[in-house]
């Protein structure tokens, strides 16, 4: 009966005979999953698509180049009937019924004894959806569920196979939509989240009530001991058997002290996974329409930490060399010292009229852009009361506008994207 719901079941086909009749488009879509299931696949068809033929040539299945004949389904556990001959499909379906072989009919779902669900996979989970005679709806439901599992908006944490440990997740520049799919999924599966203030804070509200959220900025000890305290907390929670996410802003390894945390966890024998994030050094300029490179304008960009001044003995930056570069400079953590940095760059030869853009709270609802030159940026930042976090872009790319004409002369590389 067409209106009777199908009984869902997962077939374990490893080493078992599956017969596919027809080598056209239906077979091309269904064969990869049958092969992946470990089935012993026999394809019966006088012809096949190039993709199906390639599967036969590589030994993934056995192909008999002929039409269907009675007896083909006698030893099968499962059959896919998808020839272009209605009479052959009807005869094969009757044989499947006689031998109690579950069979799918591509040309007549009502005459089949089995239906193929819309399937998708994410991190070891197989999603199979059946809606009877509405395959488009099945596919839409499948896509919604799989997408939710992949991006973490549908929380379905593992319980039996989950391994305690720590994931260092780069949360991106702040907009919660800019965290990676893997990062969001791990966040949804966490027992404990230790979060930086620069991470995507809006995602914390979406966590289930049982998840413990620890503000890394409020971990006790003084400023000097803060990183050590974070390291100790990561190790302690992981050794309690919990799944821990260390949610960091940007990318864990771009001025994020991520490697220090990896080293501490490794010394403690705690499994650790690093999930890269979108760095604010490229995403924040992009959010306000600044390309860090542009054909005919800049062939390189350099990312520099501005957390210490150029004349500070602790500085590891060669400001003289940076001033000599023609490309783009992107400064992070430099708001408080931008005046001194600009003076050093000018003193070492960088043009005082070089365009500068300061982007505060980039990608967030409170984002704002302040434009200046290298000569005026220090005063502009003070006058506009710019505060961290902010990304500072120095170079001619700052003056590139979306409505500007393209460069008059192509560059040597021909403008190929990388």
CA nearest to 96, candidates 84, 82, 85: 82
- Give me the active site residues, please: 196, 218
Strand, helix or coil at 200?
coil
User: Pairing mode, if any, of strands 390-394 and 212-215?
Assistant: unpaired
Q: What backbone phi and psi angles, to 5 degrees, belong to 126?
A: -105, 125
CA 17, CA 306: separation in Å to the nearest integer? 65
CA 218, CA 224: separation in Å to the nearest integer? 13
CATH class of the domain defined by 282-399: alpha beta
CATH tag, 17-116 = 3.40.50.720
Distance from chain centroid for Cα 127: 20
Parts of the chain belonging to CATH 3.40.50.720: 17-116
CA 130, CA 109: separation in Å to the nearest integer? 12
Parts of the chain belonging to CATH 3.40.1010.10: 165-275
Per-residue pLDDT of the chain (418 residues; tens, 9 = 90+): 456 777 888 899 999 999 999 999 999 988 998 999 999 999 999 999 999 999 999 999 999 999 999 999 989 999 999 999 999 999 999 999 999 999 999 999 888 998 887 777 666 677 777 776 667 777 788 778 877 777 666 766 555 455 679 999 999 999 989 999 889 889 888 999 998 877 787 888 778 788 898 888 655 555 545 888 899 999 999 999 999 999 999 999 999 899 999 999 999 999 999 999 999 999 999 999 999 999 999 999 999 999 999 999 999 999 999 999 999 999 999 999 999 999 999 999 999 999 999 999 999 989 999 999 999 999 999 999 999 999 999 999 999 988 876 554 444 444 444 4
165-275 CATH pick, 3.40.640.10, 3.40.50.10890, 3.60.10.10, 3.40.1010.10 = 3.40.1010.10
No. of H helices and E strands in the chain? 11, 17
What would the DSSP string read from start to end of 18-65? EEEE--SHHHHHHHHHHHHTT-EEEEE-S---HHHHHHHHTTSSEEE-
Rg of the chain over all Cα atoms, to the nearest angstrom: 30
**Residue 241 tokens, joined:** 């058997």
Find where tokens 């269907």 sit: 68
First-to-last alpha carbon distance for the chain, in angstroms, is 56
Parts of the chain belonging to CATH 3.30.950.10: 282-399
């Amino acid at each position: 009966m067409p209106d009777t719901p199908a009984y869902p079941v997962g077939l374990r086909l490893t080493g078992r005979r599956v017969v596919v009749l027809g080598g056209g488009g239906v077979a091309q879509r269904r064969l990869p999953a049958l092969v992946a299931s470990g089935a012993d696949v026999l394809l019966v068809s006088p012809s096949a698509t190039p993709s199906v033929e390639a599967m036969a040539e590589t030994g993934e299945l056995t192909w008999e180049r002929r039409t269907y004949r009675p007896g083909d389904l006698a030893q099968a556990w499962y059959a896919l009937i998808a020839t272009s001959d209605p009479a052959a499909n009807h005869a094969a379906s009757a044989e499947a019924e006689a031998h109690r072989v579950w069979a799918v009919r591509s040309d007549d779902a009502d005459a089949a004894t089995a239906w193929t669900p819309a399937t998708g996979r994410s991190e070891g989970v197989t999603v199979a959806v059946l809606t009877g005679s509405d395959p488009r709806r099945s596919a839409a439901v499948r896509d919604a569920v799989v997408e939710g599992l992949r991006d973490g908006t549908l929380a379905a944490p593992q319980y039996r196979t989950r391994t305690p440990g720590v994931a260092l997740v780069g949360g991106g520049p702040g907009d919660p939509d800019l965290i990676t799919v893997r990062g969001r999924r791990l966040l949804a599966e966490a027992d404990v989240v230790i979060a930086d203030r620069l991470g995507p804070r809006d995602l914390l509200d979406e966590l289930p009530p049982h998840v413990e959220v620890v503000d890394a900025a409020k971990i006790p000890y003084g400023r000097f001991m803060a990183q050590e305290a974070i390291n100790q907390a990561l190790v302690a929670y992981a050794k309690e058997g919990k799944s821990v996410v260390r949610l960091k802003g940007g990318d864990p390894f771009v001025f994020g002290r991520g490697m220090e945390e990896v080293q501490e966890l490794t010394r403690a024998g705690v499994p650790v996974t690093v999930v890269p994030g979108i760095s604010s050094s490229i995403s924040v300029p992009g959010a306000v329409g600044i390309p860090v490179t542009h054909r005919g304008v800049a062939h390189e960009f350099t990312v520099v930490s501005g957390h210490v001044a150029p004349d500070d003995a602790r500085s590891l930056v060669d400001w003289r060399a940076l001033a000599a570069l023609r490309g783009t400079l992107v400064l992070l953590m430099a708001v408080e010292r931008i005046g001194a940095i600009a003076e050093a760059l000018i003193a070492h030869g960088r043009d005082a009229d070089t365009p500068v853009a300061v982007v505060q709270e980039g990608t967030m609802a409170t984002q704002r852009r302040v434009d200046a030159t290298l000569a005026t940026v220090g005063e502009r930042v003070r006058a506009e009361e710019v505060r961290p976090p902010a990304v500072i872009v120095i170079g001619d790319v700052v003056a590139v506008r979306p409505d500007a004409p393209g460069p008059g002369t192509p560059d040597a590389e021909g403008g190929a994207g990388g």
